[in-house]
């Protein structure tokens, strides 16, 4: 009886790299390849077409998994709670999708009885780390293969020639010179002329945001309602978060809002030029922050800013499934119970501004804040408050002065001495 081969579950996108991975895994590891396509809301020419391509490229099976709802409800909600922004700029779109895809790779490995999983990432990026860190935490017994890191196909042309020799479909249209990753949360664009940080990003790299120059001249207002930190309605109409994201991507994108152009510090130690468009994501985080400003007690808000940075770094570094990230999530979750209310956003010519916020759990107290006749703030209490609040620094300043003055006199004495000597 013919022994069946071991299996590998490959994270498959339908692009050239992962198609070549299928054949390469067969030739080099003698494995049966199960392709796994994760639908996280990326642009594609049809999931059925991707599946057929996987099978044509030699996969023994192809699983297409719709991860969109789970991506939104388990991943993006946590990112919103944490106002997730790596280096204060990047809303982590790729970093958020890798752990969910990894989770399904591991599940598929279990259901197919596979010993291996594989991905098509290079050895230079963050995504390899995220896949491998996630998979190895979820099931340390699985072995991970990274063909692109191992193979000897140095240029795109060599890769195409290798593919053509084995009957793998090669894209007929000239491929984009950029490396693009996208999902519901947005699009990441790298490589090509962007690799020179001096080059302005050409307009044609953007697909879901209009240029501010072409955006409407009239502003558009959108009201986002939050319940326990989760967006739950637009303009008063309740809808699932996924629909809020779709709608806001349209609105914000039309007004040219959501573009990011940054130099980013990769986990592997390389600085890279990254362009992103994250219209709904940036607008929702902006709105969420505004509501937190209104509803979170000062000390919690200040402390949370540090937690948010740690959260973003952990997720960027591939630590989605980690005790640190769980603990940070628990902190964020504990702060979200009172984040209920409405934020009014104004989109205009590439901008999105919070122009209003209201909440039943607001900590804004008009009587304390106003300079008008209704003022209830105890102005007299401020005097003693300032005396004690500044006491420690005043003690320090006094000691400094004392030391400086004695140094000064020491200087004077010394210079007096030398003057005398010169006389």
Q: Looking at beta carbons only, is 215 or 314 nearer to ligand ARG?
A: 314
Binding mask 168-197 for ligand ARG (x = CB under 6 A): -----------xxx------x-x-------
CA distance 117 to 103: 11
H helices of 184-278, in order, are: 241-254
Catalytic hit among 19, 57, 97, 127: 127
Binding mask 134-153 for ligand ARG (x = CB under 6 A): --------------------
Q: Is 127 in the site for ligand ARG (CB under 6 A)?
A: yes
Shortest spacing between CB 371 and ligand ARG, in angstroms: 46
What's the token pair of residue 21?
Answer: 């991975």
Binding mask 87-116 for ligand ARG (x = CB under 6 A): -------xx---------------------
Task: Provide the 10 A C-beta neighbour count for residue 206.
Answer: 19
Q: Is 77 in the site for ligand ARG (CB under 6 A)?
A: no
Shortest spacing between CB 190 and ligand ARG, in angstroms: 5
Shortest spacing between CB 392 and ligand ARG, in angstroms: 43
Buried b (16+ CB within 10 A) or exposed e, 70-86: ebbeebbbbbbbbbbbb
Q: CA 97 → CA 106, 113, 304, 372, 402, distances in Å?
A: 15, 24, 24, 50, 59
Q: Looking at beta carbons only, is 279 or 341 nearer to ligand ARG?
A: 279
Taking CB under 6 A as the criterion, the residue among 63, 132, 264, 308 binding ligand ARG is: 264
Q: Is 159 in the site for ligand ARG (CB under 6 A)?
A: no
Task: Identify the CA nearest to 179 among candidates 57, 15, 10, 38.
Answer: 15
The DSSP H or E segment spanning 392 is helix 391-422
What's the token pair of residue 37?
Answer: 């396509």
Residues near 377 by beta carbon (within 8 Å), at least 6 away in sequence: 367, 368, 369
Hey, which residues between 197 and 256 contact ligand ARG (CB under 6 A)? Answer: none
Shortest spacing between CB 58 and ligand ARG, in angstroms: 23
Whether residue 127 lies in the annotated active site: yes
Q: Is 274 in the site for ligand ARG (CB under 6 A)?
A: yes
Backbone angles phi, psi at 211, to 5 degrees: -70, 140
Q: Looking at beta carbons only, is 190 or 308 nearer to ligand ARG?
A: 190
CA distance 326 to 332: 10
How do beta strands 61-66 and 220-227 pair? unpaired
Whether residue 157 lies in the annotated active site: no
Residues near 380 by beta carbon (within 8 Å), at least 6 away in sequence: none
Number of residues that bind ligand ARG (CB under 6 A): 11
Catalytic hit among 166, 169, 179, 293: 179
Q: Looking at beta carbons only, is 294 or 312 nearer to ligand ARG?
A: 312
Catalytic center residues: 17, 98, 127, 179
Residues lying near ligand ARG in the complex (CB under 6 A) are found at: 94-95, 126-127, 179-181, 188, 190, 264, 274
């Amino acid at each position: 009886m013919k022994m069946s081969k071991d299996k590998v579950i490959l994270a498959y996108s339908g692009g050239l790299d992962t198609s070549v991975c299928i054949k390469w895994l067969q030739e080099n590891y003698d494995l049966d390849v199960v392709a796994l396509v994760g639908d996280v809301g990326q642009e594609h020419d049809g999931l059925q077409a991707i599946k057929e391509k996987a099978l044509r490229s030699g996969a023994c099976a192809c699983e297409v998994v719709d991860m969109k709802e789970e991506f939104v409800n388990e991943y993006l909600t946590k990112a919103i709670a944490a106002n997730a922004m790596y280096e204060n700029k990047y809303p982590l779109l790729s970093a958020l999708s890798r752990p969910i895809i990894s989770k399904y790779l591991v599940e598929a490995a279990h259901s197919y009885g596979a010993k291996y999983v594989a991905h098509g990432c290079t050895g230079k990026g963050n995504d390899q780390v995220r896949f491998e860190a996630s998979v190895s935490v979820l099931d340390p017994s699985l072995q991970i293969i990274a063909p692109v890191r191992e193979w000897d196909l140095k240029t795109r042309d060599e890769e195409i020639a290798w593919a053509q020799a084995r009957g793998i479909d090669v894209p007929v249209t000239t491929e984009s010179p950029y490396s693009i990753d996208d999902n519901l949360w947005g699009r990441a664009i790298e490589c090509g002329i962007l690799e020179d940080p001096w080059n302005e990003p050409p307009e044609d790299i953007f697909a879901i945001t209009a240029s501010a120059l072409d955006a409407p001249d009239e502003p558009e207002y959108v009201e986002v309602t939050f319940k326990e930190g989760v967006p739950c309605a637009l303009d008063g109409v309740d809808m699932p978060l996924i629909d809020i994201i779709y709608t806001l991507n349209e609105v914000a994108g039309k007004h040219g809002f959501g573009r990011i152009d940054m130099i980013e510090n990769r986990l592997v130690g390389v600085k890279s030029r990254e362009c992103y468009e994250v219209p709904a994501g940036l607008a929702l985080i902006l709105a969420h922050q505004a509501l937190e400003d209104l509803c979170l007690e000062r000390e919690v808000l200040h402390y949370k800013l540090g937690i948010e940075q740690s959260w973003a770094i952990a997720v960027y570094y591939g630590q989605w499934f980690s005790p640190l990230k769980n603990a940070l999530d628990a902190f964020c979750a504990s702060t979200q119970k009172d984040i209920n209310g409405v934020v009014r956003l104004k989109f205009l010519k590439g901008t999105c501004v919070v122009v209003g916020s209201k909440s039943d759990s607001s900590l804004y107290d008009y009587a304390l804040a106003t300079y008008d006749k209704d003022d209830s703030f105890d102005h007299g209490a401020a005097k003693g408050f300032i005396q004690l609040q500044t006491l420690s620094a005043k003690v320090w300043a006094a000691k400094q002065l004392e030391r400086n003055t004695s140094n000064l006199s020491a200087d004077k004495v010394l210079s007096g001495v030398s003057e005398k000597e010169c006389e």
